[in-house]
Amino acid sequence: MATTKDAQTETKTTEIEKSDAEWRKELTPQQYQVLRQHGTERPGSSPLNNEKRQGIFECAACGAKLFESEAKYESGSGWPSFFKPLDAGAVATTEDRTLGMVRTEAHCAKCGGHLGHVFPDGPRPTGLRYCMNGLSMKFVPKG
């Protein structure tokens, strides 16, 4: 288990232990900026916004299964949005106090990669909106 620091300097435990150099080698510069440096892609820039096929959205860094296509919906936010993770342990959260506000950061429970944020304005049945960066995920179609 590796201990990493998130944007708020809280510690979290992850299953995957890699050096910064290893992450830089494995990820594109844009993925590295989002997943490892808590960045955000421009709204409307992800091809995953328009993904309508059945399948699974996985972490782009480690391949962990994060969301099913059935949980994806059009939020109008400009980022791929989901109302729940694939399972309760797939996506972990921490309090994010950057940018002068309090938000809930979502990260991959397996590798600690920054995925996006969770907001309490989503649809039923959860009322949550997992607002994810497309660069932090890859889509694997069913079949």
**111 annotated active-site:** no
> 131: which 2 tokens?
């607002």
Identified catalytic residue from 59, 62, 108, 131: 131
Concatenating the DSSP letter of every residue in the chain gives -EEEE-TTS-EEEES----HHHHHHHS-HHHHHHHTT---PPTT--GGGG--SSEEEEETTT--EEEEGGGEE--SSSS-EESS-SSTTTEEEEEE-GGGS-EEEEEETTT--EEEEEES---TTT--EEEE-GGGEEEEE--
Which residues are identified as catalytic?
131
